[in-house]
Amino acid sequence: MQYPYAEELDEKKAENLRMALAYLSKNKFPPCPVNYRIAYDHVAGKSAELSTVLKDTNEQHQLTQEQLWEIYQRFFVQDKKALEKIREEMRSIVSSLHGEFQRSGGELTGFSSELDHFSNKLDTADSIHELSEDVQQMIQGTQSAIASQKKFDAYLANLESEVQQLRREIDQIKEESMTDVLTGIANRRAFDEELQKCMDVADKKHTPLSLLLIDVDHFKKFNDTYGHLVGDKVLKYVAGILKNCVKGQDFAARYGGEEFAVILPQTSSIGAKVIAEQIRQSISVNELQNRNKGESYGKITASIGISQYSFDGDAGNLIGRSDEALYKAKQNGRNRVVAA
């Protein structure tokens, strides 16, 4: 893959760096790697379309980190291009392998013909001199076949290394496309795929399946009062709680905005309530603080809605019932668990 900044001079890079940091500061964007990449390409004039999107969107309202992430995905996370690059590499490997098989097969076929010829000569040779020449040719043919086989074995060993590297690249792309960059847990795309898999297993084995939808209470207040950086810390905090509470085959994801989801395979409604209460209490037990300033942001709480899969193959119905239960939890005073 071509490095996108190789053509820039050091002086230009330094100037772009200063301009990118100034752009982030001016627009009050957190100086994280994602935002820096966006700002750098914008001030460096690398994409007119990117600059237009930033200008138009930022004029309407202050861009949120979630919107900046969507812009980053649109302009920089290009799964299709990355996968197409890997496909091209695989096509090249397959083509090369095919050619190598044909070449080696041809050489071995020729050696087989030499063996047949030598076998016939054993019966028809008229003199020791003639037979000696044929033996010499046989020795040379054998040595050539051995050398060819060694070369082919070396080629296969090198090919295995290339394929393993491609596999690692594919795994990395897949993991990145399924991970929420802010919180480090699964994203909505991964959630949709996992939920469908769990529903299929539940249908096949007729085992229970529960779903939790979790919404951070008064999240907009945190953003408005303390800024988006604190809002991001709240989301990371909740994601960390979910990582600690969700074990085994259970699956946690950022559903969108300040909402999270937990898929609980082989878990009844009663078991789901126990886990939901554990999550709710773990979130609300501590106060979020700014240790540098000694400032407390207060306790974080969350409302949770639960529903159980009804073996109808309808993910929308399962999510919808969890969402209705979540809405009731909000209506009833927040910081509570409600089951559909």
Q: Are 82 and 177 in contact (CB under 8 A)?
A: no
- Is 287 assigned a catalytic role? no
Annotated catalytic residue: which of 258, 277, 295, 324? 258
Half-sphere exposure at residue 25, Cβ-oriented, CA atoms within 13 angstroms: 6
Q: Residues 263, 264, 268, CA angle at the centre, nearest 5°?
A: 135
Six-digit token string for 330 = 């909000």
Q: Under 8 Å CB-to-CB from 62, ≥6 apart: which residues?
A: 27, 28
Count of Cβ atoms closer than 10 Å to residue 19 Cβ? 15
Q: Could you tell me the CA-to-CA distances from 160 to 155, 157, 166, 263 in Å, in that order?
A: 9, 5, 10, 38
The stretches of 61-215 forming alpha helices (DSSP H) are 65-75, 79-124, 128-177, 188-205
Say how far apart CA 40 and CA 54 lie, in whole Å. Answer: 12
Instruction: Find, among 119, 161, 163, the residue nearest to 137 by Cα.
Output: 119
In which residue are the tokens 């999240």 written?
Answer: 219
Q: Which residues are catalytic?
A: 258
